[in-house]
Amino acid sequence: MLDSAIRTLDLRIPEIGTDYRPLVESYFSLMKTPDPTSEDVIQAVLEMIGYTSDYAFREEALMQQVGYPDFKKHKMDHAIMQRVLGEAMTPLLFGERPGEEVVAFMEYFFIEHMATQDAAFVAYLKTPDRAAS
C-alpha cells in the first residue's frame, strides 16, 4: 500500500519547480537494500538528508514570500524530518540499522505530510485570491 501511495503521489509546486521523486527513490533504496549497514544505505540516507534540506529551503522561501498562514507548522515538520534523518546516520556509521522510528517517520512524511500539508500549500498557491495579488 505504501509503495503504490508514494509512487502515485505527485504534488508539484510550479513556482519552485520541484517534486518528490528523488526523495522517494532514496527511501525505496533504503528499504530494499538487503544489508541494512551497507554503503548503499548510507548513501540513500545522505541523499535523503541533502534533498530534504534543499527542498525544504526552497519550499519555505516560497511560503514566506506568499505569506502562507501555516508556514510555522510546515517548517516544524521539515525540521523534525531533517533531525530524524540526521539521527539515522549514527547507527549506520556503527554498522547498525537505523531504528524503526526512522522508517515509521518516513512513512508518515510521505503519506501524511505530503498528502495533506503539501497538498494544502499547493491548493493555497492556486487560490483565486492569491493569484489576483
For residue 16, pLDDT over 50 is answered with yes
Q: What is the pLDDT of residue 70?
A: 95
Mean pLDDT of the chain: 75
Q: What is the CATH number for 35?
A: 1.20.120.50
Report if residue 82 sits inside a domain: yes
Domain hosting 28: range is: 2-8+18-132
Q: What is the pLDDT of residue 125?
A: 85
What predicted TM-score, i.e. pTM, was given to this entire model? 0.74
Report if residue 13 sits inside a domain: no
For residue 92, pLDDT over 70 is answered with yes
Q: What are phi and psi of 126, to 5 degrees?
A: -95, 0
Report if residue 64 sits inside a domain: yes
Report if residue 36 sits inside a domain: yes
Name the domain count of the chain. 1
Report if residue 80 sits inside a domain: yes
Report if residue 50 sits inside a domain: yes
Would you give the DSSP letter of residue 97?
A: P
CA 6 centroid distance within chain: 11
Q: Give the percent of the chain with pLDDT over 70.
A: 68
pLDDT tens, position by position, 48-76: 788 778 888 888 999 999 999 999 999 99
